[in-house]
Amino acid sequence: MIIDLRGKVAIVTGAGRGIGRHIAMTLAQEGVITIGTDIRAELLEELGQTFAEQKLSGAQFVCDVRNSKQIAEVVEEVRSRFGRIDILVNNAGVASGGIVEELKEEIWDANMDINLKGTFLMSQAVAPIMRAQQSGRILNAASFAAIVPSYGGAAYSSSKAAVKQFTRVLAGELGPYNVTVNCYSPGMIPTEMNHFAEQTEERQNRLLDTLTLRRWGNKEDVANLICFLASDLASYITGTMIDVSGGKLATQIPSIAYEAAARRESLKS
């Protein structure tokens, strides 16, 4: 089987850096006309230069996912220029936090406005186009925090859990029009936002010990899943959340398996 996305039109939010940039680049390299949005013009300019150098198809627009007017303008421009919208990847997000007693209201609002409201507004804007086409894929960034939250992560975890439920509702509403809606939950994938790979060796080992596959994830792991879910091969998958975490907490203490494996190897020698 070959994933064939050539000629599709996609919008990827938060495409200026991190996982979003990699998703945008991967889709474009697969032949998708890829529109990247972000709030930082300089990041989009760099992305545009890379697109030009690699002769990739697409465009870049500054857009704040909290602003319905800006979203409407971008979505209409994409529809007008390219005739359709086949894929929406709601990647834009923030992960600021703090313990509840000390959590600032503006941090709570930022998580809800960008992670959740942004997903809602973008989906609301493209839904009529996909409904009219009788086809489409909406892919929303949740997080492993939507499954098991972290200390100090009330705002982030709440927003991502809400994204999961929003995904299920929207899948139900758009099912009659052959539009699928899914979300994905990255685990420990080092980015500029989470700084996993920049922490102390002791802290890194502590985090890696929670993984069934004891290594950091790669941006490619998420981008490859996006390509699959956006393709015709995933046409019967909707309303679900797929965990991309290397089996984080698949068992209660994953590190036990590594300790047992090390003992077996030592006995051989």
Name the catalytic one among 156, 177, 236, 258.
156
Q: Output DSSP code: residue 268.
A: H
Separation of alpha carbons 95 and 142, rounded Å: 11
177 among known catalytic residues: no
Contact between residue 5 and residue 224 where contact means Cβ atoms under 8 Å apart: no
Query: What is each CA distance from 37 to 16, 54, 88, 91, 198, in whole angstroms?
Result: 7, 19, 11, 10, 27
DSSP H/E element including 264: helix 255-268
Give the full edge-to-edge strand order of the sheet including 87-90.
Answer: 58-62, 33-38, 9-13, 87-90, 136-141, 179-186, 241-244
By annotation, the residues acting in catalysis are: 156
